[in-house]
Amino acid sequence: MEELSNKTVIGFIGTGVMGKSMASHIQKAGFPLVLFNRTKEKAKELIHNGAKWADTPKEVAEASDIVITIVGYPSDVEDLYLGESGILHHLKPNSLAIDMTTSSPELAEKISKSAMDKGIYTLDAPVSGGDIGAKEARLSIMVGGDEKAYRSAKPLLDLLGSNVVYQGKAGAGQHTKMCNQITIASNMVGVSEALLYAKNSGLNPQQVLKSITSGAAGSWSLSNLVPRMIDEDYAPGFYVKHFIKDLKIALDSAKDMGLRTPGLELALSLYEELALNGGENSGTQALITLLEESTD
């Protein structure tokens, strides 16, 4: 694939909570940008700032040298890449597609094989850091796929994240993201329980946070999501419904490897209960509301 230049056309599919900010960083860096999103309104600001709108993913693929995708579910990814109108059928040979959706490692391998047969490079590059990380270009980006393609694409990925790490062959990025989600899953249960304990013991949660964020209990969720929980702000930086999707992928992969993951199973069951109670479109920090109801 060709080296990046200011003439490299970047296609971007998926301008949701995180994708909109990510596409904006690419636009501000001066790359020509072609967009598609299911809801055009969510791309309105990017279009106003000079991005070209495409009516279909096919049009994005045909117009672009590199296409970045960040959509909802593995089924969306599979249809977007491998469906009858999938972008692999319309990308030019020697071009690159980077899927930044959290998806199935097995699907990433399948997409990579199909792309190689067509002379196209692919990377699976899921991210962590939520809406804040996307806005501030401080995402952690976990990359799997062809190492040569990774090296060529790294300057572009550096526009989106502060921690871009190559993990290995196709699927390795997605496997790394599963490690990330497994870690977060049990941690979110812990920070929710800790905050409820602080409230019910008569402590000032803000003061407690000052003490424990810099100690052994420190975590990204504790520093970034607990302040929202204290303010009862459950707006999605990352949707509960998407977290459930991730945890199911992680659990299926863990079972395939013969692993016991009781913490993951507990977190998944709690988030599924939260979704059934109407919280599927809330942020992951809304888990505390479920535990509060149980306490009452």
Residue 63 lies in a domain: yes
Over range 2-7, report the average pLDDT.
86
Residue 1 lies in a domain: no
In whole numbers, what is the pLDDT of the chain averaged over residues?
Answer: 96
What is the structure's pLDDT at 293? 86
Residues in the chain: 296
Show the domain range for 145.
Answer: 10-170
Kindly state whether residues 199 and 141 are assigned to the same domain. Answer: no
* Contact predicate 96/71, CB 8 Å: no
pLDDT digits over 77-123, tens only? 999 999 989 999 999 999 999 999 999 999 999 999 999 999 999 99
The phi and psi torsions of 94 (rounded to 5 degrees) equal: 75, 5
CATH number of the domain at 46, please: 3.40.50.720
Q: Percent of the chain having pLDDT more than 70?
A: 99
Residues contacting 157, CB < 8 A, separation 6+? 98, 125, 141, 143, 164
Residue 191 lies in a domain: yes
For 271, the token pair is 């988030």
Quick check: 295 pLDDT over 80? no
Quick check: 58 pLDDT over 90? yes
Confidence of residue 2 (pLDDT cuts 50, 70, 90): confident
What is the structure's pLDDT at 110? 98
* Contact predicate 90/64, CB 8 Å: no
- SS3 string of 218-246? CCHHHHHCHHHHHCCCCCCCCEHHHHHHH
pTM of the model: 0.93
Kindly state whether residues 165 and 185 are assigned to the same domain. Answer: no
pLDDT digits over 236-280, tens only? 989 999 999 999 999 999 999 999 999 999 999 999 999 999 999
Confidence of residue 296 (pLDDT cuts 50, 70, 90): low
Kindly state whether residues 206 and 88 are assigned to the same domain. Answer: no
CATH number of the domain at 245, please: 1.10.1040.10
Query: For 257, which DSSP code?
Result: T
Which residues are marked as active site? Answer: 177
Kindly state whether residues 85 and 114 are assigned to the same domain. Answer: yes
Kindly state whether residues 192 and 130 are assigned to the same domain. Answer: no
Residue 130 lies in a domain: yes
pLDDT digits over 119-168, tens only? 999 999 999 998 899 999 999 999 999 999 999 999 999 999 999 999 99
